């Protein structure tokens, strides 16, 4: 970007009352827990590494620390508790909240619910997973269970993957991966901690790629264009 000029690939042209305005691309983040990946996104937006704004944080848990991070940084947030008796109520509220925010990109940053296709339909969404997909992914592989499975398998390397969200759980086109060596002395917790640090880097870079739009998808590959 030339100093003093807008890099228009990160902005939308909006026509309002006969005038053209530039609107910065926006992100909606969904998180269920501590929100360290969310914090990495916040810091990247503040530093201008991500040229965009965070429209809203949605969480399914009222005790998620990610909510405190949003409040501390003046980011709108909403808690939508999961309704086990009627999940469609929950999915509908998530869908309505997304439509209201109307983001250019949805980021699942440690969101512990699998969302049906119709919830995210019409939007681009990315997800971060704590393994090198397609290994150790899919239903049942989440949180510490992933790292337990990696150690039990004898794998010498693990890491994290950011991928586009599709109808297949953890099966969408892979944007990028970061690799971590599995050490002999590793426990599931120590491996998780080292991978988590790589997640902070990966999620920011993946958002940059997705907002930039300079990529093509070939099968399950995301190719820079």
Q: pLDDT tens digits for 61-103?
A: 999 999 999 999 999 999 999 999 999 999 999 999 999 999 9
What is residue 23's predicted lDDT score, i.e. its pLDDT?
A: 56
What is residue 68's predicted lDDT score, i.e. its pLDDT?
A: 98
Q: Is a pLDDT exceeding 60 seen at residue 12? A: no
Q: Model confidence over 147-169: pLDDT tens digits?
A: 999 999 999 999 999 999 999 99
Instruction: Give DSSP secondary structure letters for 101-139.
Output: H--SEEEESS--SPPPHHHHTTS-EEEEESS-TTTT-ST
For residue 24, name the pLDDT band (cuts at 50, 70, 90): confident
Q: Give 9 or 138, the one with higher predicted confidence.
A: 138
Strand partners, 160: 178
What is residue 225's predicted lDDT score, i.e. its pLDDT?
A: 82
Among the listed residues 197, 159, 156, the one whose alpha carbon sits nearest the alpha carbon of residue 176: 159
Is 129 annotated as catalytic?
yes
What is residue 1's predicted lDDT score, i.e. its pLDDT?
A: 36
Report d(CA 86, CA 68) in Å as an integer.
28
- pTM metric for this prediction: 0.89
For residue 21, name the pLDDT band (cuts at 50, 70, 90): very low
Which is it for strands 26-30 and 19-24: parallel, antiparallel or unpaired?
unpaired
What is residue 173's predicted lDDT score, i.e. its pLDDT?
A: 98
Q: Among the options 129, 147, 163, 200, which is catalytic?
A: 129
Q: Tell me which long-range contacts 215-222 makes (C-beta under 8 A, separation of at least 24).
A: 215/175, 217/164, 217/173, 219/173, 220/171, 220/172, 220/173, 220/174, 221/173, 221/174, 222/164, 222/173, 222/174, 222/175, 222/176
Q: What is the CATH number of domain 25-224?
A: 3.40.50.170
């Amino acid at each position: 970007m030339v100093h003093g000029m807008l890099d228009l690939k990160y902005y939308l042209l909006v026509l309002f009352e006969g005038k053209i305005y530039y609107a910065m691309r926006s992100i909606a983040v969904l998180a269920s827990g501590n929100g360290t990946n969310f914090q990495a996104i916040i810091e990247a937006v503040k530093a201008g590494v991500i040229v965009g704004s965070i429209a809203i944080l949605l969480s399914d848990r009222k005790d998620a620390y990610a909510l405190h991070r949003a409040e501390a940084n003046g980011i709108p947030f909403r808690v939508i508790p999961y309704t086990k008796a009627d999940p469609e109520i929950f999915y509908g509220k998530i869908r309505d909240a997304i439509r209201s925010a109307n983001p250019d990109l949805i980021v699942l940053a440690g969101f512990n619910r699998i969302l049906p296709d119709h919830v995210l339909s019409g939007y681009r969404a990315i997800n971060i997973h704590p393994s090198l997909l397609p290994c150790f992914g899919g239903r049942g592989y989440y949180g510490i269970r992933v790292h337990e499975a990696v150690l039990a398998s004898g794998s010498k390397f693990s890491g994290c993957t950011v991928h586009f969200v599709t109808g297949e759980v953890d099966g969408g086109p892979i944007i990028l991966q970061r690799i971590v060596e599995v050490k002999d002395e590793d426990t599931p917790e120590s491996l998780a901690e080292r991978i988590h640090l790589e997640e902070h880097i990966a999620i920011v870079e993946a958002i940059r790629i997705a907002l930039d739009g300079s990529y093509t998808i070939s099968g399950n590959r995301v190719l820079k264009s």
